Amino acid sequence: MAASVCRVGSTVGRALAKARSPILLSLRHGQATVTYAQSLLGAPETRLTTLDNGLRIASEETGHGTCTVGLWISCGSRYETEKNNGAGFFLEHMAFKGTKKHPQMALEQQVESMGAHLSAYTSREHTAYYMKTLSKDLPKAVALLSEVLQSNALSEADIEQQRSVVLKELEEVEGSLQDVCLDLLHATAFQGTPLGHSVLGPSQNARTLSRQDLVDFIRSHYKAPRMVLAAAGGVTHEELVGLAKQHFSGVSFEYEDDAVPVLSPCRFSGSEIRMRDDDMPLAHIAIAVEGASAASPDIVPLMVANAIIGSYDITFGGGKHLSSRLARLASEESLCHSFQAFHSSYSDTGLLGIYFVTDKHHIDDMMHWSQNAWMNLCTTVTESDIARANNALKASLVGQLNGTTPICDDIGRHVLNYGRRIPLAEWDARINAVTPKMVRDVCSKYIYDKCPAVSAVGPIEQLPDYNRMRSAMYWLRF
C-alpha cells in the first residue's frame, strides 16, 4: 500500500513541479485548499543515482528560486579513537579556512558574491558540508564544495589559529547545560565505546591534534561510498549528476591496505553519572534506556510512544488542558520548568529517554512521574492516546521540512541511514499502522524492567538512589 502511494506521489510531484500547479502553489502559500492526503501525493519525488566510485547523488526538485546542496558523509565522533576524538569537529572548523586554489579571503568573497550561505556540522555518525544559494548558482556551489572537501589547505598557521577558537567553543558549550547533560548521558550509557565520545572531543585533544592527524582522518573516512551529494529546491537531477561526475568522480573508494574501518558494537550500560553543584539554580536530568536503531521496524512505534509523552515548557499555555498527561501534571503540580521525550537513533542502537529541568525541591516527584509515564506506555495505552500521538507526530514530520535546507538534510541523512529517502506518504502509512497493542509490546521490549542510564547536573541532592530508580522500571502486578 505504502509503496503504491509513493509511486503515485512521485508521478504527481513531477507533474506539479513542472506545471507550477495552483494546487502546489496554494499549498506553499499556506492556503487550506488541499487535504493532508493530497499534499502527500503532491510531494516531489526524490531521485537517486550512484556513480561508478560509489558516491550517491539524491535530489528533490521543487521549482524554488533557491536551492540547498551539500555533502553528507558517514563519519562522525563514533569513528574516532580516544587519541583523535574531536578530529571531525576540528575539520569542520578548518573547512572554510581556504583551499589550495582559493585562500580564505578569496573563498569568502566567492560565497559572498553569490549571496550564499556556507555551513557545516558534525554529529556522532554524520558530517555535513552544505550551501544554500540561488538555483542558477548551483554549478558554482558544487565546485566550491568539491574544493572544500578535496583540496583543503590545512595549513599549520590556520590549525594553530583554530585551536583557540575550538577551545573557546568548548568553554561556551560548558555553559549549555542541556548539551552537557546529554553528553554525560552518552558517556555513561555507552561507556568504554566510541559512542561515548563527545562530538567536540576533550580540550586536551584540541591542543594536541596535528595536521597529520587530520590528514589521516580524511584519508581513512572521506571515501566515495560513504558520501551523499544531496540537493533540494530549484535543481534538476540530471544537472546535479553531471556536476557530480565532473567534480567528485575522482574521490577515492579504496582503502590503504584494504583497511576498511568497521564500526565496533557499542554496548549499553545501565549506570549513572552525577555532577552536583548546589550553586546552580536548576537541575538538569536525563534518564534513558537503550532504544532502537535507525533502520529498526520498532522505530515508528517508539516515535508514537514519545509523542504520547510529549514535551512541556513553563511558558506553555493550556495548563490542565494540555493533551499530554505528564505535561498536565507538570503544569498543575509545578513539577518542572520543562521536559521533552527524545529518541537518538544510531546505525545499530539508540537512546530512548526523557530530559527535564526542575528546581531542587521537585526532582524526586518529576523522576517518579516520568518513570510512571513509561510504565503507562507499557501497560495502559489506549486508542485515543494513539490517535492524538499520530496527529502530533505527522504534524512534526511535515512541519520540520519547512525549507530547502531541512529537506536537503533529511535527504542526506535518510540515504546514509536507509539507502533511500523515505517519502512522507510512507511515513504516514507506517504511523497509521501503529496500534495500542503494538506500542505496549514495543515499549515493554525496550523499557519494562530494563536498567536505565541517568545523568544529572546541578543541585541534585534529591535525585533518588540508582537502585530506587531501577526498581521503578517495573510494576508489581497481580
419: left (phi over 0), alpha (psi -120 to 50) or beta: left
Q: Which residues are catalytic?
A: 92
The pLDDT of residue 260 is: 67
d(CA 389, CA 441): 17
24 Cβ contact list (under 8 Å, min separation 6): 16, 17, 42, 63
d(CA 25, CA 212): 51
Q: Beta 272-276 vs 227-233: how paired, if at all? A: unpaired
CB 317 within 8 A of CB 327: no
pTM: 0.89
d(CA 249, CA 238): 15
The pLDDT of residue 259 is: 65
d(CA 79, CA 10): 36
d(CA 121, CA 77): 12
Instruction: Give the amino acid at 210.
Output: S
Looking at 288-356, list the stretches that DSSP marks H as alpha helix, in order from N- to C-terminal side.
299-309, 325-332
d(CA 144, CA 96): 10
465 Cβ contact list (under 8 Å, min separation 6): none
Residue 250 in 3-state DSSP?
Answer: coil
The pLDDT of residue 38 is: 81
First to last CA, the chain: 41
Lookup: cell for 151: 583540496
Lookup: cell for 257: 591496505
What are the structural domains of the chain? Answer: 44-249 (3.30.830.10), 272-472 (3.30.830.10)
Using CB atoms within 10 Å of the CB of residue 150, give its burial: 0 to 12 exposed, 13 to 18 middle, 19+ buried: middle
Nearest to 291 by CA among 334, 254, 346: 346
**Cα separation values, 390 from 121, 179, 429, 442, 452, Å:** 30, 28, 11, 16, 26
Nearest to 142 by CA among 160, 129, 127: 129
Element (H, E) at 321: none
Reading the chain (478 residues) residue by residue, the pLDDT tens digits are: 333 333 334 443 444 344 434 334 344 444 556 788 888 888 899 999 999 999 999 999 988 899 999 999 999 999 999 999 999 999 988 888 888 888 888 989 999 999 999 999 999 999 999 999 999 999 999 999 999 988 888 888 889 988 999 999 999 998 899 999 999 999 999 999 999 999 999 999 999 999 999 999 998 889 999 999 999 999 999 999 999 999 999 888 877 766 667 778 899 999 999 999 999 999 999 999 999 999 999 999 999 999 999 999 999 888 888 989 999 999 999 999 999 999 999 999 999 999 999 999 999 999 999 999 999 999 999 999 999 999 999 999 998 888 999 999 999 999 999 999 999 999 999 999 999 999 999 999 999 999 999 999 999 999 999 999 999 999 986 5
The pLDDT of residue 182 is: 97
